[in-house]
Amino acid sequence: MGRALIIGCGGVAGVVIHKCCQNSDVFEEIMIASRTKSKCDAIKEKLDGTTATKIRTAKVDADNVDELCALIDEYKPDIVMNIALPYQDLTIMDACLKCGVNYMDTANYEPEDTDDPEWRAIYEKRCRDEGFTAYFDYSWQWAYKKKFEDAGLTALLGSGFDPGVTQAYCAYAQKHLFDEIDTIDILDCNGGDHGYPFATNFNPEINLREVSAPGSYWEDGHWVEIPAMSIKREYDFDQVGHKDMYLLHHEEIESLAKNIPGVQRIRFFMTFGQSYLTHMKCLENVGMLSTTPIEFEGHQIVPIQFLKALLPDPATLGPRTKGKTNIGCIFTGKKDGKEKTAYIYNVCDHEECYREVGSQAISYTTGVPAMIGAAMLLTGKWNKPGVYTVEEFDPDPYMEALNKWGLPWQIDDKPVLVD
Ligand code: NDP
């Protein structure tokens, strides 16, 4: 049915590639293109002969629009799947517009260099206007809406688990379970243990930037920002047990606040163990999370990039990680004039993911919805020109695909609420 160009070959892309190869009716051909071609060749070698999907590989620098265009013009994909880093979102969107091809990704744009004065001026204005200080926000990619509409192309933003599946849960709750949604609490619990004192489950630079930033939530039409990790709750997660969780800023809050009419409050909580938090605080205190380059023995070094080089590669955590994830959304609202609650969630087992695709569950829960999002566009189930997040499409085919492709969901209609 279609041909996909997959950019990036890290932890999440490994799952995306396996899943596309399981779904050969839709992904007849894929090209894996990344900065380090040997990683693309290694996964091609592993999968060739086990799948009907035809695999090619290439080297590309996705920061370079001309290089991307040369590859797109040569391969002629029906969709470009950006599974590299959020730093590349805009260059890949530019290349898709130039070459006339649909686009998707799993995380919204943030700049690699947060000291760039041009970016910083826009960022500081946005902090004042909007009231949250995260480095990432949707404005950069929403600014492409008209260009994609005029070109008759679709850009699907943030089709991982969170963002991604969590927004499909919201659209499903809106369509089938509630007349009005009052509050949404997104709970992201990782009950997995990889045995290292400190490691991140996805790209360390992106992960540590996200969790060390101030938290924020949406309430009564505006953002409320709080110091990092200053709101803590305990929750008893199905199949995982009691965990401490902390309120974080998260990108889907921004789009849900626009797209779920009448919603009064949206919060996002993620679980962290004490060891993770202690390590992170210590690294932050000594300056290791800084993105500002420093001079060291004649070299320019970005501290957080040096830290990334020291930490275990998330793609190697698969064989060591045991336990489960539980990620979902708790809703309160009204149906037929009565108060109602619902909790839609998925439980995913790290070891089962490893047996199936050789990855831990964080990469799995991101990679499966990325494949599904691309399949929605390739099969025409989701088809409208412009730039959209997941909750702006019909959730039904996506929710059905989650059950089919390894992330089955369930609904608890009497969940314990978070105070
Ligand atoms: P990794 O660091 O493991 O992989 C990133 C890949 O992108 C690497 O293969 C890297 O190449 C490649 N890459 C980086 N820069 C370039 C470039 N300029 N040109 C070409 N390729 C490049 O990251 P993850 O797999 O952990 O994460 C991938 C994405 O998934 C991130 O955007 C992350 O934010 C997102 N994510 C989303 C989640 C969700 O639920 N929505 C959850 C978790 C992650 P090289 O190997 O040479 O370094």
pLDDT at 201 over 90: no
Instruction: Looking at the CA of residue 13, tell me the nearest atom of ligand 1.
Output: 25
Q: Which residue has the tokens 């909007």?
A: 130
Q: Which of 32, 68, 106, 329 is the best mutation target for the ligand 1 pocket, counting ligand atoms within 8 Å of the beta carbon and taking the most?
A: 106
C-alpha of 103 from chain center: 15
- Positive/negative CA dihedral, 52, 62, 133, 137: negative
Length of the chain (residues): 419
What is the model's pLDDT at position 378?
Answer: 98
Per-residue pLDDT tens for 41-78?
999 999 999 999 999 999 999 999 999 999 999 999 99
Q: Which of 39, 202, 251 is the best mutation target for the ligand 1 pocket, counting ligand atoms within 8 Å of the beta carbon and taking the most?
A: 202
Q: Quote the ligand 1 centre to 1 CA distance (angstroms).
A: 26
Q: Quote the ligand 1 centre to 19 CA distance (angstroms).
A: 17
What's the whole-number mean pLDDT along residues 168-181?
98
Q: Quote the ligand 1 centre to 12 CA distance (angstroms).
A: 7
Instruction: Looking at the CA of residue 201, tell me the nearest atom of ligand 1.
Output: 26
- Positive/negative CA dihedral, 370, 12, 108, 64: negative
C-alpha triplet 212, 223, 391: angle, nearest 5° = 90
What is the model's pLDDT at position 1?
Answer: 81
What is the model's pLDDT at position 113?
Answer: 86
Q: Quote the ligand 1 centre to 268 CA distance (angstroms).
A: 22
* Band (212; pLDDT cuts 50, 70, 90): confident
Percent of the chain residues past pLDDT 70, beyond the cut: 100
pLDDT at 209 over 90: no
What is the model's pLDDT at position 163?
Answer: 97
User: What would the two tokens of residue 65 be?
Assistant: 């629009």
Is 160 within 8 Å of 369 (Cβ atoms)?
yes
Residue of higher predicted confidence among 415 and 383:
415
Q: Spell out which residues line ligand 1, taking CB within 6 angstroms.
A: 7-13, 34-36, 39, 60-63, 83-86, 88, 106-107, 158, 160-164, 202-203, 206, 314-315, 366
What is the model's pLDDT at position 118?
Answer: 93
pTM, 2 dp: 0.96
- Compute the distance between CA of residue 312 and CA of residue 56 in angstroms, rounded to an integer: 28
Is 387 within 8 Å of 157 (Cβ atoms)?
yes
The segment with the largest mean pLDDT, out of 18-27, 104-113, 188-197, is 18-27
Is 47 within 8 Å of 21 (Cβ atoms)?
yes
Per-residue pLDDT tens for 370-397?
999 999 999 999 989 999 999 999 999 9
What is the model's pLDDT at position 11?
Answer: 92
pLDDT at 206 over 90: no
Among 101-110, 273-282, 342-351, 404-413, the minimum mean pLDDT is found in 273-282
Average pLDDT, the chain: 96
Is 58 within 8 Å of 40 (Cβ atoms)?
yes
What is the model's pLDDT at position 395?
Answer: 98
C-alpha of 342 from chain center: 23
* Band (353; pLDDT cuts 50, 70, 90): very high
Per-residue pLDDT tens for 179-198?
999 999 999 999 999 999 99
C-alpha triplet 156, 189, 389: angle, nearest 5° = 15
Residue of higher predicted confidence among 406 and 383:
406
- Of the candidates 388, 365, 370, the one whose C-alpha atom is nearest the C-alpha of residue 314 is 365
Q: Which residue has the tokens 């805009």?
A: 90
What's the whole-number mean pLDDT along residues 195-210?
87
Per-residue pLDDT tens for 286-311?
999 998 899 999 999 999 999 999 99
What is the model's pLDDT at position 294?
Answer: 94
Give the bridge partners for 187, in sequence order. 269, 328
Spatial neighbors of 146 by CB under 8 A, at least 6 apart, are none
* Band (321; pLDDT cuts 50, 70, 90): very high
What is the model's pLDDT at position 205?
Answer: 84
